[in-house]
Structures are given as C-alpha cells and as structure tokens.
Copies of this chain bind each other. A is one copy, B any other.
Amino acid sequence: MLIALFPGDGIGPEIVAEAKRVLDALAIDGLTYADGLVGGAAYKAMGHPLPRETLDIARSADAILFGAVGDPDCDALERHLRPEQAILGLRKELGLFSNLRPAKVFPELAHESALKPEVAGSIDLLIVRETNGDVYFGEKGFRTTAEGHREGYDIMSYNEAEVRRIAHAGFQAARARRGKLCSVDKANVLETSQLWRDVVIEVASDYPDVALSHMYVDNAAMQLVRNPGQFDVIVTGNLFGDILSDQASMCVGSIGMLASATLNGSGQGLYEPIHGSAPDIAGSGKANPLATILSAAMMLRYSLGLSEQADRVEAAVAQALRNGARSADLGGAMTTVEMGDAVLAAL
C-alpha cells in the first residue's frame, strides 16, 4: 500500500513528520511512502502548485496524507498558480468528492471553546461536504457590463448525479452513526439548491431508517451556535460546507485538533487537518500535530481498511491529552515534536 506524503507549506512539513512517526510506530506490513511537493513549496521549486509529478504520485497512491497549503509569498500570483490550487486540483483530478469533517469535543478541551462548556460538550457531528462541484468549479471569469463596468462572475451548479452520490454518502454516514441527516441548502433562493433538495428527497427513499431534515444555510449557521448538539450528520454543497465546517470546528474550540478525509468512489482518499499552513509559526516548533495524526487515523480506517490501528491512534491521542499534553494553541508549551512524543508514548 502506497501513501503519498504531501506536506506542503508553512507548518505542513513539521506536522506531517509527526504523523509519519506515529504510522511508523504501528509497524504496518507493506506500507510504502512517496513524497511530493504541493502548494507554494511546489510553485517555488517547479513553477506550479500541483506539478504533474505530484499528480502522478497522487494517482498511483492508495491514500494521500496532506499537510497544508498557503504561502503569503504567493498572494500576488495569478489564481491558477496560487497554493490553494493544489488542494482544489487534487480534489477535482482524483474525483475526491466526499469531504468528511467530524467535530467532537475532547472532554479535556471543552473549556477552550468560546461556547459554554455544556453547549460545546454536546457537539458530536459530522459534516459531509461535496467537493467536486458547486460554484467552486463552474465557469468563472471577468467580463464588462453593457455600461462598461468590470464584472466578476462564477456559475454555481449541481446536477442530479453529483447530488445523488454525495447524498448517498450522507445517508450512509448517518446510518453508521445516530441515524439523523440534515441537508443544508438555500432552496428559497437558489435553483441549484432546489435541485439539491429534490434529489436528496429522492435518495431518501433508499434509507427509510434515517431521519432526514432540511435546513436553510442561514438557519444552519444560527443553529450551529444555538444548539449544535441537535446535529448528527449534515450533508451540504461545496460552498456552504466550507463555511459551516469551519464554523463547527471553531465551536469545538481547538482547530488544531480537527481531522478530515476526502474520498472518491474507489476508496482513495486525501487526509488533512482542517487548519491552515500558519505561516506565522512555521519552523518555530509550536504547531500542534494532533489534527494531522488524527487525519492519519482516518486514513487507516477509510482507505487502508485498518480500523483497529485507527482506533489505537485515536485512543493514543485521547490518552496523551489526558496525560496533559498541550501545545501552545491548547494553552500549553509543548513543541510539535514533544506532542508527537506524547502520542507515541501513549500508543
């Protein structure tokens, strides 16, 4: 089994290194690795944020362990050369359409949330975000209006095949959890959302055991603050999922703890922490590697079929927290490597 390691920019290399140490410690037979450049690092070395070499490695791998992309040096580049294109390009080229973002509070960290502890403590939800369509990948550009004004435009769309496959992902995830699925859209304004809602309702007939509800995105943003404990699985489009999953992650309190998986139809997956490349602390040893380590655990479970090892890694992270492991973002002073050590010790 081949794992592509794409550390990327900023703190990416430091946090991916710790996840790699944890994977090594599991001594899994037949695991091989291939390194690749992505993001600003790839642009600086090879002139493109997602070079062909990297894409070839990604295609041949069973799973990708991804750090983070984003580099202030690249802010002024044309859009197609910016670091973000690496993640957008990988999602699109590999058909990685199902982005899974679990949000759950570790009891030791509940006080870190800006929410009241009893509200934060009630959060145990999974956001299933579509990542191959929507306004992200429609035709876009600049044009001039009849009055001679510059105008920017982006076409938002979803077709029934795209909605159907992510709806199935949502229903299946709900079935494996507490059996509740909330589909989020803006069907009172958008035709894209109306199609979304119609298709989700059609797919629901295959899942009589799952309780389906619908919510407008503005209301969902409110409910995620008011009473996030009401949600089990949320399924939504690319743009709304981007916003709501970041909001939900912050409700948990510590964005340095949250993992994600993005899967295609053949079990291949990209695994990354949901936080960014944090250029301000890159190289200082302050980054928290736990979200990346937890992403590696998701990789073991979803792409490598090693759920026992996944459980072990997750248990080791929880144990390390109980033992008091705290990086700067968690109010402590431990370095990236010391946090990795703490997980290895607990393993």
Residues of A in contact with B (beta carbons under 8 Å apart): 79, 82, 84, 88, 114-116, 119, 135-136, 138, 140-142, 145, 147, 149-161, 186, 188-196, 199, 217-219, 221-227, 239-240, 242-247, 249-251, 255
B157, A157: Cβ atoms under 8 Å?
Answer: no
Please tell me if the beta carbons of A192 and B153 are within 8 angstroms of each other in the complex.
yes
Smallest CB-CB A-B distances: 9 pairs: A152-B195, A153-B157, A151-B159, A221-B247, A218-B246, A222-B250, A152-B191, A149-B159, A152-B192
Among candidates B79, B84, B154, B242, residue contacting A157 with C-beta atoms closer than 8 Å:
B154
Q: Which residues of B contact A154 (CB under 8 A)?
A: 155-157, 190-192
Asked if residues A225 and B225 are in contact (CB atoms below 8 Å), the reply is yes
Within 8 Å by CB of A158, from B135, B152, B155, lies B152
Residues of B within 8 A of A244 (CB): 221
From residue A288, how far is it (CB to closest CB) to chain B in Å?
Answer: 15
A255 to B151, CA, bound (A): 35
Assess whether B142 is in contact with A159, with CB atoms less than 8 Å apart.
no
- Chain B residues whose C-beta falls within 8 Å of the C-beta of A157 in the assembled complex: 151-154
* Complex contacts, A227 vs chain B, CB 8 Å: 114
Is A140's CB under 8 angstroms from B191's CB? yes
Task: Specify how many copies of this chain sit in the oligomer.
Answer: 2
The A interface, classified by DSSP as helix, strand, loop or mixed, is helix
29 contacts between A and B (CB under 8 A): A114-B225, A114-B227, A115-B116, A135-B189, A135-B190, A138-B153, A140-B190, A140-B192, A142-B191, A142-B195, A147-B161, A149-B160, A150-B195, A151-B157, A151-B160, A152-B191, A152-B192, A153-B155, A153-B156, A154-B157, A156-B156, A221-B221, A221-B243, A221-B244, A222-B249, A223-B250, A225-B247, A240-B243, A243-B243
Residue among A149, A152, A161, A190 having the largest count of chain B Cβ atoms under 10 Å: A152
CA distance A193 to B154 in the complex (A): 9
Q: Give the shortest distance, in Å, between A174 (CB) and chain B (any CB).
A: 23
Task: Report which of B156, B189, B217 forms a contact with A84, defined as CB distance below 8 A.
Answer: B189
Interface core residue of A140, A147, A195, A221 (most chain B CB under 10 Å): A221
Min Cβ gap A325→B in Å is: 22
A183 to chain B, nearest CB (A): 14
A194 with B153: CB separation less than 8 A: no
**In the complex, chain B residues whose CB is within 8 Å of the CB of A186:** 239, 242
Identify which of B152, B159, B195 contacts A193 (C-beta below 8 A): B152
